[in-house]
Structure formats: C-alpha cells, structure tokens
Amino acid sequence: MNHGDTAPAPAAAMADIFMEISNSKTASMAVGVVPAASAATVQSDAAKFIFFCWDEGEGHKSPQAWRPREVEIGEPKEGEIRIKNKSIGVNYVDIYYRTGLHHEHLPFVPGKEAVGVVSAVGPGVTGIKVGDVVGYADTQMGTYTEEQIIPAILAIPIPPSVDHITAASVLLKGMTAYVLVRQAFKWANALGATVIGTVSTQEKAAQATEDGCHHVIIYTKEDFVTRVAEITSGKGVHVVYDAVGKDTFKGSLECLMQRGCMISYGQSSGRPEPVPLSDLAPKSLFLGRPGMRHYTTTRDELLHAAGEVFAGIMAGVLHVRVNHVYPLHEAARAHAVLEARRTSGSVVLLPGS
C-alpha cells in the first residue's frame, strides 16, 4: 500500500522571483534562501553566492526570501566536474528545507536533483569528459542553479535514449522507489505484489490505475483504513509506504497485518507523533525510515540504482509524467502548486528559459 499523494499543507505566500542575468561567460544564476534581515556572502568550492534578504523572523520560510543573483563559477578542483544544468527536478523535500522542517544552515541554494552537460573536468577525473550528459540526485544541496560543481563520483551517466527532462524528473524519485521496493521491503506490482494506492482526486486515481495500481482509494472521499480492510478481507497488508506523515501515520499502522512492515519515507503533512515501541507489539510490527543515500553509499550502489530506474523506463514498466515545467526563475510558482497539491506527475525547472 502506498500513500504517494501529499496531504494538505499550509501554503506559504508565494512571490515572483526577479532574476539578474549576466552576459559574462563565467556568471550563472542561483535561487537562494538567506537568513532574516541580512546580506550574506557564502564561499564554497563551487561558487560565490551573494544574496540579500530584508525579511524578519521566520521570513526565510517564504519564497519571498529568495533572491536570485549572479554567481561566479570557479574551476573544478581535484576529483570534481562542473555541470551546466539543463533540467532541475523539484521534489517535496525542497519544501521541507525551505520551511525549516529539514534543517539547513542559512543561506543556502535549494534543490537535490538535476541533469546537465559537463562543461569542465578537474584534475584526476577519469571516465567523464566535457560534453557528457550526467545527472545527480540527493547528494548535495544546490541544484536550483544554472551551473554547479560536484564531486565526479556523484555523477550518473544518462542513457542517450532518456531525454534530460525525463531524467531530471525521475532520478531522485525513481531511485527512492527502487530503495523502497527492492531494498527496504521487496514488493511492487512488477515484482508480483497487489498494490493499493491512495490519491486525492479522480484524475490522479485514473493515472494510478493506468500505472498498474490494482486498487485506488480516493482518501478525500473515503476512509482508507476501512477500505483497506474491505479489500484484504480484514487481513491487512504486508507493507505500507507512507510519504504523508502526521495525517496518515496512525491509520497506516492499523492497515498492517501481523508482522507487517511500515515504511515511512516522507512527512508532507508534518512530523508524526512519537510511536511507543509497545504500540508495535500487538501485531509484531516493524517500522523503518529509510533514506536513499544510505543505500547508494558506494559508486557501484549508486550506478546500480540508477540503472534499475533507466531500465524500467526503457522497458516501459516505469511510466514518467512530466506535467509541470517552469523556467528556473519561476521556482516559487512551482513550489506554490506543489505545496497546494495542484500537481500530478513530476515538476521540472528549466534554466535559461
């Protein structure tokens, strides 16, 4: 069972982003979040970011605190490459960081997923050359930018048959799904499981059915705990994948059969209340909170996970829908529609458009 749709979350006031683009070949643009009432300069191996923010208190939680500015990109150092981003994936975790649900020292540039073309290679790098198309996901913050420098070991080669928009829309989500169904708990429809999914609208229900979900529950119209009991004749399910968090966590536990496994991988409605271990005892339940990065710690693990995603796309098993594409300077708008649950499929930002 999968709670893949996001539950209601307070939508922060969104503002247009005003961008300054330079004609300099060494300049790029980034969307940044800065501390309240400050003008900050951040030095990193990749670039120098200069942001200005005049908000106070909790102001950084709103995209009104975002100040795109010119970025001077340096040369890659030992073991690094510079990437000119072509497509940037937007994920709900970006909202977690923006609102402070996940902590990141201010100022910072959001984003955990992108695909681009290698524009420079540092000393000691082998197997990657200028012009290669590569992606990177959930490895370091800062993809809401036109160019970025990353360790070469984190770069994932993109197959020629997968376009950059598709790759950027699915790399992080796809590898996360691989970890959930192949590592954390080995189930999925393609692996022989019966899949029950929850969504918020009839449109999303139709898409879920098309994608292979056997039973779709529109949780805004019916109680998912009662419906799961009906579908399973009261037995419950082997595993629940819950990305919603607070609003569904307790109900998800109720849906499990004896010795069932609860996999929490998101908290779009907020952090769940603490669960006493004794609450798991009546049905001998298992509870886990896996993170993709802990299953892709080696180069081989990373490339294997990405390879599984690309193989699924090319075999037609994994259906990718990119229904929302925005210019990078409209990142705030992308966050608005995602946070308000007005999206279906992936959201992608395009630099330079």
What domains can be seen in the chain, in order of their start residue? 16-20+176-292 (3.40.50.720)
Residue type, 232: T
Q: How confident is the model at residue 353 (pLDDT cuts 50, 70, 90)?
A: low
Q: Which of 42-56, 106-120, 264-278, 303-317 has the lowest mean pLDDT?
A: 42-56
- Hey, what are 351's tokens? 């630099």
How does the average pLDDT of the chain come out, rounded?
A: 81
pLDDT, residue 18, reads 24
Residue 307 has pLDDT above 60, yes or no: yes
173 phi, psi to nearest 5 deg: -65, -40
Residue 334 has pLDDT above 80, yes or no: yes
Mean pLDDT for the stretch of residues 50-74? 58
Residue 125 has pLDDT above 90, yes or no: yes
Residue 196: CB partners within 8 Å, gap ≥ 6? 1, 2, 213, 214, 215, 216, 217, 228, 231, 237
H-assigned helices in 211-348? 224-231, 249-254, 299-314, 331-339
pLDDT, residue 32, reads 52
Cβ atoms of 271 and 103 closer than 8 Å: no
Q: How far apart are CA 13 and CA 7, in angstroms?
A: 18
Cβ atoms of 55 and 62 closer than 8 Å: yes
Q: Structure pTM?
A: 0.78
Q: Does 19 or 38 have the greater pLDDT score?
A: 38
Cβ atoms of 318 and 309 closer than 8 Å: yes
Mean pLDDT for the stretch of residues 274-279? 91
What does DSSP assign to residue 212?
Answer: T
Residue 41 has pLDDT above 90, yes or no: no
CA distances from 221 to 11, 139, 201, 230, 309 (A): 22, 38, 9, 16, 33
Q: What is the pLDDT of residues 138-195, one digit of tens each?
A: 877 789 889 999 999 999 999 999 999 999 999 999 999 999 988 888 665 566 789 9
Burial category of 216 from C-beta neighbours within 10 Å (exposed 0-12, middle 13-18, buried 19 and up)? buried
Mean pLDDT for the stretch of residues 251-257? 95
Cβ atoms of 67 and 32 closer than 8 Å: yes
CA distances from 187 to 82, 238, 298 (A): 38, 9, 24
Q: Which stretch, 36-50, 102-116, 130-144, has highest mean pLDDT?
A: 130-144
Residue 30 has pLDDT above 90, yes or no: no
pLDDT, residue 29, reads 55
Run of H or E residues at 171: helix 164-178
Count how many residues are written for the chain: 353
Residue 169: which of 113, 128, 243 has the closest Cα? 113
Strands 133-137 and 156-157: antiparallel
